[in-house]
Amino acid sequence: TAAERASWQAWNRSGRDYPRDRSVHSLFEAQVRRTPDDIAATDGKRELSYAELDAWANRAAHALREQGVGPDSVVGLHVGRSLEQVVGVLAILKAGGAYLPLEPEHPDARLAYMCSDSGVQSILSVGSLVERCSAWSGQILRLDDEAALASYPSSTPEAADLTPQHLAYVIYTSGSTGQPKGVLVPHGGVVNYLDHAQSYLQPHHRGAVMGTPLSFDATVTALFAPLLAGKRLIVLPSEAGALFAGLSHYLFDDGRDWLFKLTPAHLDGLYANYPAHTGPSERRHCLVIGGEQLTTATVAKWQRDRLPNAEYVNEYGPTETVVGCSIYTVRNENDLKRCGHAVAIGRPIQNTRLQLLREGGLSPLGATGELFIAGAGVARGYLNQPELQQRHFVEHDAGGRATPFYRSGDLARYGDNGQLIFVGRNDEQIKLRGYRIEPAEIEACLCAFAGVAEACVLLSDRLATPALVAYVVAPGAAGREDALAEQLRDWCKAGLAAPQVPAAFKFVAQLPTTANGK
């Protein structure tokens, strides 16, 4: 109806000015000039001032320039979560390139594919990880080789001729074709998102705590938001025990207010294993939560037992639309009561338009439709995937003119208060502990194992926690199921990222089919 259309237009009025002609690193360099002596980043053992962080990144950037890195050059970053990782990201951007996270925890085959597919020009690494990079394409530069970097100037490199459409990073997500797919994210979208983060998420906090992998684009929030505002970045280690101990310390013991970027799995793990020491804390942290559906039960128990005064920001957004494109903030019990089983995903962030389409037209209010996303955050597309790009990056009539949209595959509906509510997927993609997982990629890996005829991977909620279960047709497996399951587990670990490795393997004579054989 006309009234519904007017409501939709009102909910999508998100226009806001931002530094659209700037790059991410130029905004950091401006902050360095304002607060050179303030602490920029620390890992608990070492700390770097803004000037020190800038100088280290500048030297590495000059070295990358010498290797030919420039606009749209893809540079691999094979470094664990550390100060060197922060330096590496800034160095790649300063050289004009785009960073490609190469997580040390991922198998060699996956990382080698990403380097080959993206045409990596150079790779930044450290210590013993350097030897591992030698089999991949690209020149190698050691970030921790002080003697080698000392020969390069600490001054800011001459600015690369960048536009907002040049790449800031490439992140690979799980792919339905059996291989991960690279998402091309430009500076313009990242700058818009970080401008939103500066104004909405972080105005009253000391800085941010970074505890997620760089290959998880949610890390962009905690990594850049403090560094563009003269605040402090806390880098937590990758090892699970140390990570959770660090999160617990800054959440409950530190005595200052911080911005955290977490998944619902983080919250559940912290709640179960790190009880509040003396009852609920008075800290007024900002907890930005994303990666998978956030239930009202999770937030309610944190409000009641852990952090009653914190802000809980439910952030929704695919990698293809730069970290987050909509948010819903829970500041009190009433905000939570407006939601049902799950916390709403809310309204669009600045310069973003969200449309729910159903059978080619706008969805009526309350009806489920597929979520299409337009605005400053839409990525350039997929790397070397023209058919996939054509299917997901589309043009649609928005207010009388053709507008580029990302077709998310997510289903949602509008609640009575105009807040978007996530409903599910229109395909087989799975969200698990913050990771997007395509079962087809795991199934392709399993079917490449000798003796496996067919495989089907599902998300099961029958185990202690939600987990992947692989159903495998392997003729001749009878009597050796346990041994074969271990072999398949090792096979998956060698070819897939850790969250994609099934928790259980079930051997069946055949996969069930419909009456017509599908």
Q: How far is CA 310 from CA 184, 243, 457, in A?
A: 34, 21, 38
Amino acid at 81: R
Contact present, 322 and 185 (Cβ < 8 Å): yes
Query: Residue 321 carries which side chain, given as an amino acid letter?
Result: T
Q: Give the separation between CA 183 and CA 87, rounded to whole angstroms.
A: 22
Contact 229, 96 (CB under 8 A): no
Q: Check if the beta carbon of residue 286 is closer than 8 Å to that of residue 313.
A: yes
- Residue 447: the pLDDT is 83
Residue 435: its pLDDT value, please?
80
> Which pLDDT belongs to residue 177?
63
Task: Please give the Cα distance from 342 to 425 (Å, whole number).
Answer: 15
2: CB partners within 8 A, 6+ apart: none
- Which residues are registered as beta bridge partners of 414? 420
| CB of 222 closer than 8 Å to CB of 179 | no
Checking DSSP bridges between strand 381-382 and strand 181-186, what pairing results, if any?
A: antiparallel
Give Cα 306 distance to the centre of its chain: 26
- Alpha-carbon span 262 to 219, nearest angstrom: 9
Name the burial class of residue 514, with classes exposed (0-12), middle (13-18) and buried (19+) by CB atoms within 10 angstroms of its CB.
exposed
3-state secondary structure of 214: coil
DSSP-derived 3-state class of residue 406? strand
Starting at the edge strand that comes first in sequence, how are the strands of the sheet with 504-507 ordered?
454-460, 467-473, 504-507
Local confidence pLDDT in tens for the 518 residues of the chain: 899 889 888 999 999 999 999 999 999 999 999 999 999 999 989 999 999 999 999 999 999 999 999 999 999 999 999 999 999 999 999 999 999 999 999 989 899 999 999 999 899 999 989 999 888 878 999 999 999 999 999 999 998 899 999 999 999 987 766 688 999 999 999 999 999 999 998 777 999 999 999 999 999 999 999 999 999 999 999 888 899 999 999 999 998 999 999 998 889 889 888 776 656 888 999 999 998 889 998 999 999 999 999 999 999 999 999 999 999 999 988 899 888 888 999 999 999 999 999 877 888 888 889 999 999 999 999 999 999 999 999 988 766 677 899 999 998 999 878 899 998 888 777 888 778 788 878 887 898 888 888 889 998 877 667 889 999 988 888 888 899 999 999 999 988 888 899 999 999 988 886 555 55
User: Residue 103, SS3?
Assistant: coil
Distance between CA atoms of residues 46 and 199, nearest Å: 29
Distance CA 34, CA 285 (A): 26
Q: Report pLDDT for 512.
A: 82
Return the exposure string of 463-479: e unless at least 16 CB atoms fall within 10 Å of the residue's CB, then b. eeebebbbbbbbeebee
Quote the tokens at residue 116: 């080959």
pLDDT of residue 276: 65
DSSP H helical segments within 46-155, as ranges?
Answer: 50-66, 83-94, 108-118, 129-133, 146-149
H-helix or E-strand spanning residue 9: helix 2-11
> Where would I find the H helices in 276-356?
296-305, 333-337
Place of tokens 């907002």: 164
Integer Cα distance of 367 and 350 in angstroms = 25
